[in-house]
Amino acid sequence: MTINLQTLKCAECGSSVLERTGLNQYVCAHCGSVAVVEDDVSERLDRVLEQVKDAAADRLTKEQSARSAQQIRIVGIAVGAFVVLGIATSIIGALVSKRAPSGRSAMPAVIDRTIPTDGLKLGDARQVLVGSGSSARPKLFVMARNETGKVLESPRVEATFYDGENRLSSRAESLPVALMLPGEAVPLLIDLPGDKNVTRQTLTATRLSEPHRSAKGTKLNFSRVLLVQQKDDLRLVGRVVNTRTDVTLAGVQVLATAYDESGAAIAFGRGYVQGSEIKPGERSAVEIRLDRFGSAPVASWDYRIDHYLNDPDSGRTAVIATDRMVRTVGVPVQFNPELRMSSEDLLAEDSERFDLAQLELLPLIPGLSTIRQRTYMTELVNRSKDMIAVTPAAVISRFDGNKLDGTTRLGGMAYLYPGERMPVQVDPNRADRITQTRVEWKPLRRAALPGPRAPLEVQVTGTEAQMGSVLLNFSQRFAYKAVEVKGQVKNPGTTIVRKARVWVSLRDKAGTLTGFKLVENLPAIGPGESVPFEVRIEQQGGDFASVSTVYQSTE
């Protein structure tokens, strides 16, 4: 072996681990090679190796010292952070306690979950059918009363069902309120286990607890509320207004209950407002469908509202309002079950109502269908000069003398502008004729001109009279007259019209309706663009002399 005196490494393997084994003799600890050097070289090599060892020891000592110093700095930073955090927490707690309004309880460090469950008293349970007919569902009805003396948050009840001594299943349900105040009674429905025979059940309240954060406050009432009944369907619609200027309402939910003459609950339901939050000055609506489990008529009803306050300083707080139940003695408002009414229709203010006297349903126009059966047409006309009827709809009852022949639902338009005529088909069911009609209107809203409808330009570009025939029961063939109408719909506006519909009506020389058809498969129309349409209309009355149109558009 030779030693590289420039790098002090073994020339054989490159290792720098050299050990002196004798006079002027060195061995490589890695490969075992031995080298013999001259005396002066040996002495110089020993000095260099000692210097290398000393330098390595110094470097190792410095690295260990640096690591120790870094660990000390980390520990010091952590201790300082904990100290600062503790001071900040104390300061924030003091500020919050000073800024919290009177009556608001601070969030407890530990929620009280040791409330005895026997304080939630459960009345006698009974099996009921919710709904009617084939859609009725078997459930278990029970009334729960809070006699714990404390406000409960979302209490739950567990039911275990048995068939004789055989245990079938168990099910737990939360009471339909966010907060249950002391002394309050709340109804509850629990699903029965399928089609199994249930002979008895046991009911127990699960663990009870107080709300995480709560404050005393005033009860929240509806600014407008209505209980509506359409045959067996019962629903409550209401409007909530946030009259406060300092906080946002959140988590607003409503429990509505209906009672018979004896005061027994026969229906209830829970619902939430449409928006998750109601900011100061804003309003929101709620619609609740009540599950009905009794055939007795409604004699009274009530509602109670749970709500929270969203405060930027203190967070979300449940409002505890005493005497929050609002009770009404009276029957629901009755409407024809075929009418479809939104919450906006039912809750509109008197100033927002359309005057029904300005709507006219023209006299029935007799005609013949393609198989020569009696049919009738009519038109709904808006006689107002400056008001738009919003989503006009009605149910037309047909009579042959004093005998009811059936009903026809009128609807389909979102807006009926002043002077416009909407064609309506009225066909007899079993009667040979219709001698009179009775119209039941839904509550209508109005809108001022120019209104929300996107303007369109409808142009008829051509008509062609045709003859057609239809074979009935492979034995009778009937001939009829028809008209093929071609046209186009242009969008003169600056926004895309996504859905357009056009009613195309045929009229005779006297202007009387003789046939019509709805064109509703039009594509979206871009600004400045036009789309064509083509429709074939069977004549039910006299020969046509002109064509009129009325359209509906949605951006």
pLDDT at 10: 72
- Cβ pair 424, 377 in contact under 8 A: yes
- Cβ pair 379, 350 in contact under 8 A: no
Q: What is 290-317 written as a DSSP string?
A: PEE---SPP-EEEEEEEEEEEETTTEEE
The rounded distance, in Å, linking the Cα atoms of 247 and 217 is 13
Interval 473-495 mean pLDDT = 93
30-33: long-range contacts at Cβ-Cβ below 8 A with a sequence spacing of 24 or more?
Answer: 31/1, 33/1
Cα–Cα separations (whole angstroms), residue 511 to 149, 506, 514, 515:
76, 9, 9, 12
Interval 198-206 mean pLDDT = 93
Token pair 């009905």 is found at: 292
Residue type for position 91: I
- Cβ pair 554, 497 in contact under 8 A: yes
* Residue 338 pLDDT class (50, 70, 90 cuts): very high
Q: Which of 141, 148, 143, 151 shows the shortest CA–CA distance to 117?
A: 148
pLDDT tens digits for range 242-269: 998 888 999 999 999 999 999 999 999 9
pLDDT tens digits for range 416-471: 999 999 999 999 988 788 999 999 999 999 999 999 999 999 999 999 999 998 88
CATH of domain 350-451: 2.60.40
Interval 400-417 mean pLDDT = 92
Interval 510-523 mean pLDDT = 94
| Intrachain domains 350-451 and 454-555 with the same fold | yes
**CA angle 526-527-530, nearest 5°?**
65
The 8-class DSSP code of residue 12 comes to T
State both tokens at 393. Answer: 């709809």
CATH of range 454-555; options 3.30.300.180, 2.60.40.1930, 1.10.260.40, 2.60.40.10: 2.60.40.10
Among left, alpha and beta (phi > 0; psi -120 to 50; other), residue 230 is beta
Q: Where are the domains of the chain?
A: 3-75, 112-334, 350-451, 454-555
372-376: long-range contacts at Cβ-Cβ below 8 A with a sequence spacing of 24 or more?
Answer: 372/478, 374/428, 374/432, 374/433, 375/425, 375/426, 375/427, 375/428, 375/540, 376/425, 376/426, 376/427, 376/428, 376/434
The rounded distance, in Å, linking the Cα atoms of 198 and 192 is 8
Q: Which helix (H) or strand (E) holds 345?
A: helix 343-347
Alpha helices in 392-534 (DSSP H): none
Does residue 193 have a cis peptide bond before it, meaning omega lies within 30 degrees of 0? no
Q: How many CB atoms lie within 10 A of CB 107?
A: 13
Interval 297-317 mean pLDDT = 89
The rounded distance, in Å, linking the Cα atoms of 57 and 540 is 113
Residue 314 clears pLDDT 90, i.e. is over it = no
State both tokens at 340. Answer: 């479809």
* Residue 3 pLDDT class (50, 70, 90 cuts): low
Give the burial class of 225: count Cβ atoms within 10 A of its Cβ; 0-12 exposed, 13-18 middle, 19 or more buried. buried
The rounded distance, in Å, linking the Cα atoms of 211 and 180 is 10
Which residues lie below 8 Å from residue 271, measured CB to CB, with a gap of 6+? Answer: 236, 253, 254, 256, 286, 287, 288, 289
Token pair 């075992």 is found at: 32
pLDDT at 77: 61
CA-only gyration radius of the chain, Å: 42
State both tokens at 313. Answer: 């300083």
The rounded distance, in Å, linking the Cα atoms of 124 and 434 is 55
pLDDT at 492: 96
Cα–Cα separations (whole angstroms), residue 347 to 15, 235, 324:
94, 13, 22
The rounded distance, in Å, linking the Cα atoms of 330 and 249 is 30
The rounded distance, in Å, linking the Cα atoms of 337 and 339 is 6
Query: What is the total residue count of the chain?
Result: 555
Token pair 């110093």 is found at: 69
Cα–Cα separations (whole angstroms), residue 103 to 10, 183, 214, 315, 350:
86, 20, 9, 15, 39
Residue 17 clears pLDDT 90, i.e. is over it = no
Q: Which of 284, 289, 252 shows the shortest CA–CA distance to 270?
A: 289
pTM comes to 0.72
pLDDT at 114: 76
Best-predicted range by mean pLDDT (39-53, 55-69, 290-304, 467-481): 290-304
pLDDT at 135: 83
- Cβ pair 230, 335 in contact under 8 A: yes
State both tokens at 178. Answer: 């966010």
The rounded distance, in Å, linking the Cα atoms of 260 and 263 is 5
* Residue 107 pLDDT class (50, 70, 90 cuts): very low
